[in-house]
Amino acid sequence: MNMHEPLPSNPPHEFTAAEIGALAHLYRGEVYRSTVWRTRLDNTTNWAVAALGLAMSASYSHPEASALPLVLIGILIVVFLFFEARRYRYFNVWRARARWLETNFYAPMLRGQGCNSGSGWEQVLAQDYCEPRHHISMTRAIGRRLRRTYFWLLTIQALAYLGKIAIHPTSANSFAEFVHRASVGPIPGEVLLMSGVIFNGAWLAFALVTFHLDRVAHGKGTRVSMG
């Protein structure tokens, strides 16, 4: 639910001191819950960073080390991305409610407009409490976490893999040698390199598509909405 949808028109209502106090406690609770889930997001990111560091250490530890850990870690990073996107959907609920209160309750108060209702914002918030739901889809949540964090991890993973087969332990003398070094067991280097291009290209396209979906859902970022 967002401000692009029509809001019900209600007669203005001046909040009492008790109601303002209750809303203040409600806001504190929403901020606390969003902070807790923000910490859970950070934990998932830390796991992904630590796993990538271990894979790089294993592949660069000695000249005979295989580049396979750097290939497999890409799959594990994607698993962490899905975990974090699922957590982000919950975090976004509490964040959106806190932001809704800031924009529609505290901001008018600070502008000297009082604490009147009537624009429909309190009905939107009440509806969200009565019928709680995620404010964004899993697809958009994955896209957000990908653009803000995991795209960079996947980029580092790809560069580390290319660096391993290009210069470690010695520089490749030709492109044919570079491709040969990329092979793992019975899998030819050409297959692995092409798979890497498709893998990273697909995630880049996914990031761009979900960015477009976010812009469609919330305009160009100039309006506040729940989600």
For 30-83, the DSSP string reads HHHHHHHHHHHHHHHHHHHHHHHHHHHHHHTSSTT--SHHHHHHHHHHHHHHHH
Cα 117 from Cα 135, distance rounded (Å): 23
Q: Please check the confidence at residue 63 and state whether its pLDDT lies above 70.
A: yes
At which residue do the structure tokens 């109601």 appear? 19
Q: Which helix (H) or strand (E) holds 152?
A: helix 151-167
**Helix, strand, or coil (residue 171):** coil
What would the mean pLDDT of 132-136 be, rounded to a whole number?
91
Find, among 72, 60, 74, the residue nearest to 165 by Cα.
60
The confidence band for 12, taking pLDDT boundaries of 50, 70 and 90, is low
For 83-149, the DSSP string reads HHHHHHHHHHHHHHHHHHHIIIIIHHHHTT--SB--SSHHHHHHHHHHS---SS-HHHHHHHHIIII
Show the tokens assigned to 173. Answer: 């003398």
Name beta bridge partners: 14.
116
The confidence band for 1, taking pLDDT boundaries of 50, 70 and 90, is very low
The confidence band for 219, taking pLDDT boundaries of 50, 70 and 90, is low
What would the mean pLDDT of 15-37 be, rounded to a whole number?
90
The confidence band for 60, taking pLDDT boundaries of 50, 70 and 90, is very high
Q: What pTM was estimated for this model as a whole?
A: 0.83
pLDDT at position 223 is: 42
